[in-house]
Structure 1
Amino acid sequence: MEFRIMAEMDIEKLRRSNRLTAYLGILIAIEFSVLWITAVIVNGNWQLGVNTLSELGGDVPSRWVFNIAVLIAGFAGIRFSFGLAKLLAAQRLGRTGSYVFAVASLGLISVGVFPIDTGTPHTVASIFFFTVAAIAAIILLYPFYKQFGVRSAPFITTAAVILVSFVSLVTTPLPFAEAVTVAGLLVWVAVLSLQILSDLRKANTGTAIS
């Protein structure tokens, strides 16, 4: 009886962790999208496909809006990554990919700490973030397949974001490819978070196990 109670407590603890992870993912997607648009409006001169996102954080009126957006997303991304690692704890690749994404989030924080007018530090931080985030997404493909299924939204979205980001990188100007990749990451984290919440709702009705 005592073992059963402890097991139920562990399950409930995991569900709370998964719920927090999902809410953080949704927060990241909404927060960055809203502040990105706000920064563009405040800037007044930024053009999609012409200017990089980082130019919103330089010595321009949108500086604080954009850099705060990056910092919030980075710190929330670290916590999101650790929650994802718990969700995928049964799979070594799942844990690995999650922790790699946490490292990518550290790179995102560095982008906010070292804005574009710092020169080389910003360039290194940006390349580090996008490279490590891509590695994390590739690693997580198989764990998502095992966890959610090949026809699931997380698996399909992850594969699509990887493909579209790569194609845009080799076929379009860098500023446009960067915007496409960032938008893809926001969609990815939102879709994954909604899937987690959906699975939790099913678990509460006894039709799935979280």
Structure 2
Amino acid sequence: MLCLTAPIVFSVLWVLSATIDGDWTFGEDSLSRMGISENRIAAALFNGGCVFVGAMGFIVGIGIMSGKDPLSKPEGIAYSAGMVFLMLVGVFPMDLGTIHNTVATTFGVFVFIAILLASAVDYRNRDHPEIDVIVLAFTVIMLATQRFEVWEPLLVIATMVWTAVLGLKMRLSA
């Protein structure tokens, strides 16, 4: 259930933070800019959301590790590691510069690795690897063609969709 709950919680907190902030614009501002909003409530919602959803995702990663496929363990480790770095995005906001950029980038790298491993697991198990491949292709296309302020929120949305689909697949196979 956390696979389904985490994307919903993050989406709600993102929308609330952006609405309360009032100045954040999709495609013009990075997501992390909400973490340093002049409105303390907006900043707290975003940063708290990163920490809370990261903790939920960490638990999901532990669940992924228990899969039967040998690649499930490294997939779960990569996903859990990514979620630790998502928590750190909420702890080290954008105004901290290099440390924030490092944890935000590392979050993205670990989640990308987890999705890459998931595609291999899903392919071997004939469990709809198309979804993983679409997210991976979308990621590569966005990175190659869009500026950061455009691709960052789009890739977060893609990751949330992938996580929800993962939850549905886990639920249906149980």
Q: Which residue of 2 aligns with 1:166?
A: 140
1:197 aligns with 2:171: yes
1:144-164 Cα deviation digits (max 9, x unpaired): 2233x15x2xx2221111110
1:63 aligns with 2:40: no
Please point out which of 82, 85, 100 is paired with 1:122: 100
List 4+ stretches of structure 1 deviating above 6 A.
Answer: none
Q: Which residue of 1 aligns with 2:52?
A: 72
Q: Which residue of 2 aligns with 1:43?
A: 21
Answer yes or no: is the 8 Å Cα contact 1:85–1:95 preserved in 2: yes
Query: Structure 2 counterpart of 1:98, which letter?
Result: G
How far residue 173 of structure 1 moved from its aligned partner, in angstroms, is: 1.1
Taking only aligned residues, the RMSD between alpha carbons, in angstroms, comes to 1.2
Q: How many correspondences in the alignment?
A: 172
1:180 aligns with 2:148: no
CA–CA distance in structure 1, aligned partners of residues 102 and 51 of structure 2 = 16
How far residue 136 of structure 1 moved from its aligned partner, in angstroms, is: 1.6
Which residues of structure 1 form unaligned runs of 5+?
1-22, 201-210
Answer yes or no: is the 8 Å Cα contact 2:78–2:110 preserved in 1: yes
How far residue 139 of structure 1 moved from its aligned partner, in angstroms, is: 1.6
Matches within 5 A, 1:149-160: 149=126, 152=128, 155-160=129-134
1:95 aligns with 2:77: no
How far residue 60 of structure 1 moved from its aligned partner, in angstroms, is: 2.2
CA–CA distance in structure 2, aligned partners of residues 142 and 119 of structure 1 = 35
1:135-187 Cα deviation digits (max 9, x unpaired): 1211221112233x15x2xx222111111011011101111111111000000
CA–CA distance in structure 2, aligned partners of residues 109 and 164 of structure 1 = 24
With the length of structure 2 as denominator, give the TM-score of the two structures. 0.94
Please point out which of 64, 74, 81 is paired with 2:61: 81
Answer yes or no: is the 8 Å Cα contact 1:59–1:117 preserved in 2: no
1:109-137 Cα deviation digits (max 9, x unpaired): 11011011111111111111111111121
Answer yes or no: is the 8 Å Cα contact 1:101–1:136 preserved in 2: yes
